[in-house]
Amino acid sequence: SFQNLIRSAIRHIEHNTCIRFKENGGDRDGLRYFRGNGCWSNVGRTGGRQLISIGYGCDALGIVAHETLHALGLWHEQSRDDRDQFIRVNFARIIRREQRPKGSVQHPGMPSNYSN
């Protein structure tokens, strides 16, 4: 079921990180999963009930965990502001129509310590 999928993804995150969740807490802020169009979430806390869309075709533990981690503030690794120190892209090997603008997400004042 949809609820079991969400619970499994949350257990997966808890098992592999120091993050802990509280189901149906009375707090003002929280996560709200729903069957939307596509798989998406805002990155980071928005305040109130944060929406996480788990559309049809997104019924995989990895996708639900991925979108949950976006809601908790994690960006894609290739968007890290220090990514160029670790990744080299050979743009000459990318088909021209598939190329996207070069850039990275800037997080001024926030350390990039992903080992925690």
94 token code pair: 């990318």
Catalytic residue among 23, 67, 77, 98: 67
**Residue 116 pLDDT level (bands cut at 50, 70, 90):** very low
Q: What is the Cβ-side half-sphere exposure of residue 100, based on CA atoms within 13 angstroms?
A: 5
The angle subtended at Cα 84 by Cα 83 and Cα 89, nearest 5°, is 110
Q: What residues are designated binding site for Zn(2+)?
A: 66, 70, 76
CA distances to 10, 13, 68, 70 from 21, in Å: 7, 9, 11, 15
Q: What average pLDDT does the chain have?
A: 86
As beta bridge partners, residue 51 has: 32
pLDDT for 102: 65
Judged against a pLDDT cut of 80, whether residue 105 lies above it is answered with: no
Sequence-distant (≥ 6) Cβ neighbours of residue 82 within 8 angstroms: 112
Q: Is 49 helix (H, G, I), strand (E, B) or coil?
A: strand
- pTM, two decimal places: 0.72
Active site residue 67: yes
User: What pLDDT is recorded for position 114?
Assistant: 47
pLDDT band (50, 70, 90) for residue 9: very high
The pLDDT tens digits for 71-96 are 999 988 877 888 888 888 888 898 88
If you search the block for the tokens 């993804």, which residue do you land on?
9
Entry field: residues in the chain: 116
Q: Is the pLDDT of residue 113 over 60?
A: no
Question: Binding site: which residues?
Answer: 66, 70, 76
